[in-house]
Amino acid sequence: MLKAKNILTGAHFLNGDVACAEAALVAGCRFFAGYPITPATEIAETLSMRMPELGGIYVQMEDEIASIAAVIGASYSGLKAMTATSGPGFSLMQENIGLAVMTEAPCVIVDVMRAGPSTGQPTIPGQQDVMQAKWGSHGDYGIIALTPSSVQEMFDLTVEAFNLSETYRVPTLLMADEIVGHMWEKVVIPPMDKVRIVNRKKPSVSPEEYKPFLPDDDLVPPMACFGEGYHFHATGLTHNESGYPRTSSAEDQTRLVNRLCDKIQKNADKIVRVEEVMLDDADVAVVAYGIVARAALSAIKKAREKGIKAGLLRLITLWPFPEEHVAKVAQHVRAIAVPEMNCGQLVREVERAAKETPVTFLSKLGEEPHTPTEILDAIRRAA
């Protein structure tokens, strides 16, 4: 009960980074390892203050590579664990994100996206890491990435990210942008008993019978942790269901890599979330995500005022890509517009899912996201 009280249930005025930190605590995260980087630093600062109050651990590592490595270690020691970073740090983490995928370590990585490439514009928003989220580490794998459009959603999706990560034993990415991270808005933190919390499946067999990478029907193996007497081995090498290296077996490589992809793709209908606004009778659809979707919402409303039937498909899940939702919308509209704060990344996925339906792309780089007027102009041209 006391612990529940220490969660800040109630209405607050917070910025996105702080909302994310408070959500992690609500989700049961008790380990944070990170390295300071704009515009994600406030997540680390908040958790350095708040973690110990709830009995959790904050550790500042020597770099982002170490941060994600420590997070995987803490996850294998049984704690819900996270790190938070931005583009340059996200790049450094990629190899160990692959390790977390391969060893099926539940963990959450927050990327508050700034403008890249390289050091780029540290205080300026971007959506330039969304393809890296899917393809950043070498090899084939499935991953989950969510993207918030508001400070409330920064809170809600952080909790959701932990739940998905624990359910599927996969690193789950929260792809925010600098505006959502630094913007101040009202956030309602519900009472603990109203929050859905998911914890990883534990083995139901004896240590002698336990195979750490033998999946259940949902393709996810139950997870023993260090110190529980299971004496299991985990490795970044291709391994069999007992966890032992199989570095030249085509059969083990095929089975393992396919399962790592399938456990996300075949559960996509349970993972994927979108918001559909005024799409039922729409002639033109805008597909948008993050802060850009806020401008897109204004734009479709303005279009409706001018007699153009426009609707919005707001992506909440980026990966696995909401392919079926886009395909369904594409069947009913004449054209789709995709505004992104990059040079054209997720638009490629939209085009693939939209098939014959024409897709217009609106790029925006630098200080501000698209204005509603810019998106409205695109809607007009498409209509």
Partner 1 sequence: MVQEMAHPFSKYLRAEMMPHIWCTGCGNGVVLNCFAHALDELQFDLDKLVVVSGIGCIGRTAGYINADSFHTTHGRALAFGTGVKLANPELEVMVISGDGDLFAIGGNHFIHAARRNIGIKVLCANNLNYGMTGGQQGPTTPLESITTTSPYGNIEHPFNLVHLAAASGATYVARWTTLHVRRLTQSIKRMLQKKGFCFIEVLSPCPEIYGRYNKMRSGLEMMGWFRKASVIDSFSDPSKAEITPERIAVGEFVDVEKLSYERMLHEKISKINEEAMEKVS
Binding site for partner 1 (CB under 8 A): 2-3, 5-6, 30-31, 33, 51-57, 59, 61-63, 65-67, 69-79, 81, 95-96, 98-99, 103, 226-237, 242, 244-245
Considering the complex, what minimum distance in angstroms separates the CB of residue 67 from partner 1? 8
Nearest to residue 114, comparing CAs of 321, 337, 366? Answer: 366
Considering the complex, what minimum distance in angstroms separates the CB of residue 302 from partner 1? 47
Compare residues 2 and 250 and give the one whose CB is closer to partner 1: 2
Compare residues 66 and 293 and give the one whose CB is closer to partner 1: 66
Considering the complex, what minimum distance in angstroms separates the CB of residue 49 from partner 1? 9
Compare residues 99 and 303 and give the one whose CB is closer to partner 1: 99
Considering the complex, what minimum distance in angstroms separates the CB of residue 56 from partner 1? 7
Compare residues 69 and 109 and give the one whose CB is closer to partner 1: 69
Instruction: List the beta bridge partners of residue 373.
Output: none
Q: Provide the 8-state DSSP code for 192.
A: G
Q: Are 200 and 163 in contact (CB under 8 A)?
A: no
Which element (helix H / strand E) includes 57?
strand 57-60
Considering the complex, what minimum distance in angstroms separates the CB of residue 72 from partner 1? 6
Compare residues 240 and 360 and give the one whose CB is closer to partner 1: 240
Considering the complex, what minimum distance in angstroms separates the CB of residue 80 from partner 1? 10
What does the DSSP assignment read for 83-152?
EEE-HHHHHHHHHHHHHHHHTT--EEEEEEEEE-STT-EEEEE--TTHHHHHHSSSS----EEE--SSHH
Taking the CA atoms of 86, 166, 142 and 328 in sequence, report the sign of the dihedral they define.
Answer: negative
Give the C-alpha distances (Å, rounded to integers) separating 75 from 31, 45, 63, 226: 8, 21, 19, 9
Q: Are 366 and 121 in contact (CB under 8 A)?
A: yes
Compare residues 78 and 120 and give the one whose CB is closer to partner 1: 78
Beta-sheet pairing, 144-146 with 121-125: unpaired
Q: Is 186 helix (H, G, I), strand (E, B) or coil?
A: strand
